[in-house]
Structure 1
Amino acid sequence: MQSHKLLVFLCFFGLTTWAWSQDYANRLGHQSDFDRLKGKPLSDKFSNVESVKTVYDLHDKKLYFFNSKKIELHYIFVNNYLGFDMDLERFNDRNYGSNPAERDFLLGNLNHIKGSDKWILELAASDHMAIAQIETFYNLVKEATFIGDSLKFYLNNREKIEWRDQQKFHIPCVTSEYIFNSVKYQEVVRGKAVGILKSYTLEELEHSQPRWDEIIVLNGTPKQLPNVQGIIVSELQTPLSHLVLLGKNRKVPVMAFTDVNTNSGIQNLMGKKVKLDIAVDTFSIALTTQSIPKKVRPKTKSLPMDLRVKDVISLATVPKNGATYLGSKAQNLAYLIAISKKNPGVFATPEQAYAIPFYFYHQHIQHKKIKEKIDRLLAASNKDSVQHINAELKAIRKAIKNEPINPVLLAQLRAKLGTSTFTHYRFRSSTNAEDIDGFNGAGLYDSKTGIVNDSIKTFEKAIKDVWASAWNEASYWEREVFGISQQQIAMGVLVHRAFPDEIANGVVITDNLFRDEFPGITVNVQLGDHSVVQPDKGEICEQFTVYHFDIFNPKKEMEVDFTAHSNLNNYQPLLSKDEIRNLYKAAKLIETNINKYWKKFTLKPIDIEFKIVGPERRLYIKQVRVFNP
């Protein structure tokens, strides 16, 4: 009887030991060992990366690689498997700080870029591990794995990059471009789609409209998103580019895959009905018998258009109900100016800010040659003919630019701007169909520069060019998709001094888009006036998140987690620590106050555009709008 009990106990003990052994290993002798334990990184900042979390116990001198699908956090592993008994706050204080003597563990992630031989040891960006311990940790992982010299140490924050620049490391180190240049797949808008797979060139899109039931493959980044089931592009995207924002606004699945046009598996599916599934770290595409969901045209949305205001309006004070006659972009700048005045020294807003009301645009398009063309377009029966509609749109824009502008408007502008020392002014769209809930209109309309007493870049030309962009192909077709009234589109114009001396420009989303548990901001910034939202081919902007690792103690230093560095700035950081700290402060200040102006009673993330200007590197905030994730 006793021997029977002993046998049962030994079997149970053996099963328990076997089960635990599946949860972690002390060595990774083969790729299969890594594959057995791998999961997704905690952060979604890179697509196409798989990860195994690793811990070195400084007391027992043992290294562990643990099942990263089953055990999400280092803290859970050391508590449940290593007998560590400490609350999370104290664990974080001891094991992510800069004092080596306080640490119980060295914590990291062993990352592999799928489809490559690139292996990276990464610490949390919030981990301030001393250099000696980093090098010890790196060597332990290298010796305990099959990876060998392919293993690199990833510098993901400013502190580690500075140590590298000071030549303090004696291990091979890499920064974000080492990863970014190897990424072939990128989730742009995750989701699932069913449709007929078809390939188009960007040139073909200018003359033809894909069918609603298609999933399309494109050989680059389109200027506008066709109304289809799903989209695959061959170029990686800047996370906060207009394509990304429009895709999220549309809720259409979008992905980038650099090998899409040479991948035989995808090419063999052309012309067939497929199901596309886009996830953060991978995608799948296969034949399907599922039905293709019909795209339902939304009910037509009416737009506010108050034509009673007939004067150029200063934005130095907040106009009452200004969005109804100036547009949301101009109204939001007035809010920004008011917030800046109440919080001096945090950020500046563009000087000499005025808005041209809808009245002057509406008056201008009543010219017979313009009105008859708009009426003909809106009455057209063949709205599915992209070539026909685009030709009509081009004719409307030409007519708007050819008609003379109301001299009263020009006189008002000269009176407002004539005494200023600024000579270059930016004229920007401020329609009733952009920067609104559910429709951000990113990149749909044009901005132009006008120069005082210039014979070519005149104020009149700049205004008419902006007005004409109400009838851009991209803006027209996007309004069609969302059911926004084409008859009621009205274009105000936001005017403020231009920035010929900008050092950097960028976009901030007041949310950590890659880790929900750490509130913060997501930043894309680029050198000079090179666009973040519509980058030229081959340009990579700087990308990082800023957050407080210790949410219980917000007075602690903020953490900056870099995803990419600008290739236009030789992969060096564009902003200093103080500038990043001030940008964070300004973004959160604006988020709190703008939501009050919008009469929202819960904080919602916002989309901010900023510039760093002049030799004093002053922070300017030029735009704020609702973020529609």
Structure 2
Amino acid sequence: MMRASLARVLAGVFLVGCASSTENPTSKAPDADSVWDCVLPDAPEPDASGEIGCRTDFERLASDPLDASIPGAESAKTIVDRSDDGTLHFINSERYPVHYDYASAFLSGDGLPIVPDLGSFNTTEYYAPDRRFLLGAVTWYSEPGVFVYELAPYDTSDADMIAEAFRAIVAHSYFGEELLFHPTSLAIEEVAKSLPPDVPIITTDELFAGITYQPLNLGSAMGQLRFYTSDQVEEYVNYREIVVLDQIPNDISVVAGTITSEFQTPLAHINVLAQNRGTPNMALRGAFDDDALRALDGKWVELTVDALDWSIREVSEAEAEVWWEANRPAPIDVAPMDTSVEGIWWCEDILDPALDTEDAVPLRIPAFGGKVSHMAAMKRIGDEVPIPKCLGIPLYWYDQHMRTHGLWDVYAEYTTRPEWLDPRTRAELLEELQDQIEDAPLSEALLEEVRTIIDRDFDRIKMRFRSSTNAEDLGGFSGAGLYTSKSGEWDDDGDDITDAITDVWASVWNPRAWEEREYWGISHTDVGMAILVNPTYDDEQANGVAITANIFDASGLEPAFYINVQQGEESVVLPEDGDTTDQILYYYDSPGQPVVYIRRSNLVPEGETVMSNAELYELGTALSAIHAHFLPAYGRSGGFYAMDIEFKITEDGRLEVKQARPYPGWQAD
């Protein structure tokens, strides 16, 4: 491709030559005592510049970074062209979100070497030792207040290349004397150990230490601002409240928005619920005692959570009422229970073998629920995805339990009482219904069949009975954390297994689950509970959750797997106060498969990781296969697509995938 015409270049690109690697790297730098001035004209908007002379210059070139794993960032891409005497280009990154777009338009032909096709460009310019371009980005992190130079996590630049580009940027930017280098992956951390003293380093942990604001789910909402401790929100909270919390709660009912005083993990239940509901969610260190927020306690407000900052303003109750009328969620259509399927089924036999997964799963969810149906689909993938031997108990048995003991009628009678309209009284009545479900005798036929299978096929080991309603793990609604799963030990009379089954069934009427369904307009009597049954294991080496996409990259230009994993059986979605987990971006499809640790677990010795490289590779292989298998079912809309996975490393070091469901991601907005 030929470079753009000279007129176009002069109209939009302002370049300053910088030294090549064989020259004094500061030989063309402005005088150290000179005062920096803005260099970009007011119009037109530039394609690039060879110098950044002021904050305004930077803002006109910068954009949100493709990877927003560290919040509060603005980033301008850079290219050093080593075939053109080391000329430095600060690129308009809104206009050219990837380096190739700019290089192919302006740095190809017309006296310069031809820039090849995208595939060849990426292979050469990120990995070749004799590459033409040095690709990177200058990023401003607002809360630590630092400018840093960064590479793509999979870039294999050596220390000399990094230093060459770093020095060029120092020489041609007003912030040069304050610039730091931020290694973005484990591999680059190793290279950084060889950098010269004039390339100072800042680590990811050091960046996070200076951050007080964490945007989790972007958006805006109106509601009444209220302060609660984490245990208080386990009681009823009004869905028109925006809540400020001292800690991350175990669970929370529908609210208009959330502000936690502790940082969250992206896969924490509170954030998954916010994504499902499309409600703003953020963390702000010290929020619970913040004077400005406390001054608004009990008042109607509008909360806005953006990628770089947040705002809150007082509004009138009338304004809030208008907003709520305009923003009522569209009802979710849930297929009613299919109670025609009896018996107990092996997972691999549940789906119709004549149908593809995209057609077979929706037909089985009304009978087996989302969790069982997706587990059955994973059985089709093969050895790449190790999953435990499992059974599905269809919704038929739940419905029979409710009918046999008159429990549908009990619920119907409760809803006719005047006090049903009071949320707290309603919660008490629902808990009474749960008690009746748990106390009612279990079908002897079901118990005998379950016990026979556990005796014959599982050697009487402890089993896990996991919730699987027909109103969860759907394409646009996950229902994460709404229902109960329990373990059951073998005993001669079957009491423990009975308790596990009836407890799972009763969780359909968990007050929190009822309120969530009510918010989404789901008919409660259309919802039934199937059960996924598989072995449970004690003394796990690790447990975790993963998303088969880079959840920090809405553009899709930086594909990676997001993994959140913790040692042993400690929770990853709700860690104990003070515990941190390994939070990883794994660039599985990139050469060298670089690993980026966003945060590190403090339950393993310093310098160690929860998972080994071999375990990460095995997990990455499974995630890749799951992503591809469910793509026809959930990824054909053209929007963001990913699967949400739960996994564990067993006591004897085996990977097992426990669950897969569509991840709401940005589709929930």
Normalised to the residue count of structure 2, the TM-score between the two structures is 0.78
CA separation in 2, counterparts of 1:599 and 1:484? 21
CA separation in 2, counterparts of 1:533 and 1:226? 17
1:234/1:336 Cα in 2 relative to 1: closer, same or farther (>3 Å)?
Answer: same
- The 5 Å alignment of 1:63-212 reads 63=88, 65=90, 68=93, 72-75=97-100, 86-87=115-116, 89=118, 90-99=120-129, 102-138=130-166, 141=169, 152-163=180-191, 168=194, 173-210=201-238, 212=240
Residue 563 (str. 1) matches residue 632 (str. 2)? no
CA separation in 1, counterparts of 2:307 and 2:634? 34
Q: Secondary structure at the match of 2:66?
A: coil
- The 5 Å alignment of 1:24-63 reads 38-58=62-82, 59-61=84-86, 63=88
Displacement, 1:88? 5.4
Aligned to 1:293: 324
Deviates more, 1:617-626 or 1:19-28: 19-28
Aligned to 1:314: 346
Displacement, 1:35? 6.0
Q: Does the CA-based 8 Å contact 1:347-1:618 persist in structure 2?
A: no
Displacement, 1:383? 4.5
Residue 268 (str. 1) matches residue 295 (str. 2)? yes
Residue 618 (str. 1) matches residue 660 (str. 2)? no
Displacement, 1:122? 1.6
Aligned to 2:582: 542
Q: Does the CA-based 8 Å contact 2:231-2:249 persist in structure 1?
A: no
Residue 533 (str. 1) matches residue 533 (str. 2)? no
1:52/1:323 Cα in 2 relative to 1: closer, same or farther (>3 Å)?
Answer: closer
Q: Does the CA-based 8 Å contact 2:541-2:651 persist in structure 1?
A: yes
Aligned to 1:244: 271
CA separation in 2, counterparts of 1:142 and 1:57? 16
CA separation in 2, counterparts of 1:79 and 1:319? 49
Displacement, 1:444? 0.8
CA separation in 1, counterparts of 2:410 and 2:607? 50
1:176/1:288 Cα in 2 relative to 1: closer, same or farther (>3 Å)?
Answer: same
Q: Secondary structure at the match of 1:392?
A: helix
CA separation in 2, counterparts of 1:626 and 1:16? 46
1:75/1:374 Cα in 2 relative to 1: closer, same or farther (>3 Å)?
Answer: same
- The 5 Å alignment of 1:357-436 reads 357-366=394-403, 373-419=410-456, 420-421=458-459, 423-436=461-474
Displacement, 1:336? 1.4
Normalised to the residue count of structure 1, the TM-score between the two structures is 0.83
Q: Does the CA-based 8 Å contact 1:327-1:491 persist in structure 2?
A: yes
Displacement, 1:375? 3.5
Q: Deviations over 1:333-387 (max 9, x none)?
A: 12212322xxx3x221112x11222233233334658556533433344445222
CA separation in 2, counterparts of 1:150 and 1:618? 47
Aligned to 2:627: 591
Residue 325 (str. 1) matches residue 367 (str. 2)? yes
Deviates more, 1:196-205 or 1:508-517: 196-205
Q: Does the CA-based 8 Å contact 1:349-1:622 persist in structure 2?
A: yes
What amino acid is the match of 1:123? L
CA separation in 2, counterparts of 1:174 and 1:572? 20
Q: Does the CA-based 8 Å contact 2:489-2:496 persist in structure 1?
A: yes
Q: Secondary structure at the match of 1:266?
A: helix
Displacement, 1:442? 0.7
Q: Does the CA-based 8 Å contact 1:348-1:620 persist in structure 2?
A: yes
Structure 2 unaligned runs (5+)? Answer: 1-9, 16-37, 353-362
Deviates more, 1:49-58 or 1:362-371: 362-371
What amino acid is the match of 1:307? T
CA separation in 1, counterparts of 2:41 and 2:102? 13
Identify which of 490, 493, 500 aligns with 2:528. Answer: 490
- Corresponding pairs, count: 602
Structure 1 unaligned runs (5+)? Answer: 1-11, 551-555
Q: Secondary structure at the match of 2:541?
A: strand
What amino acid is the match of 1:258? R
1:34/1:363 Cα in 2 relative to 1: closer, same or farther (>3 Å)?
Answer: same
Q: Deviations over 1:5-37 (max 9, x none)?
A: xxxxxxx99998986578667677887776675
Identify which of 472, 482, 489 aligns with 1:451. Answer: 489
Q: Secondary structure at the match of 1:400?
A: helix
Displacement, 1:613? 2.8
1:284/1:80 Cα in 2 relative to 1: closer, same or farther (>3 Å)?
Answer: farther
Identify which of 517, 522, 533 aligns with 2:562. Answer: 522
CA separation in 2, counterparts of 1:404 and 1:389? 25
Q: Deviations over 1:186-236 (max 9, x none)?
A: 222212223443433434434443253x43333333444444433323232
Deviates more, 1:261-270 or 1:239-248: 261-270
Q: Secondary structure at the match of 1:460?
A: helix
CA separation in 1, counterparts of 2:635 and 2:498? 38
Q: Secondary structure at the match of 1:507?
A: strand
CA separation in 2, counterparts of 1:461 and 1:116? 52
Displacement, 1:44? 2.0
CA separation in 1, counterparts of 2:620 and 2:13? 51
Displacement, 1:445? 0.9
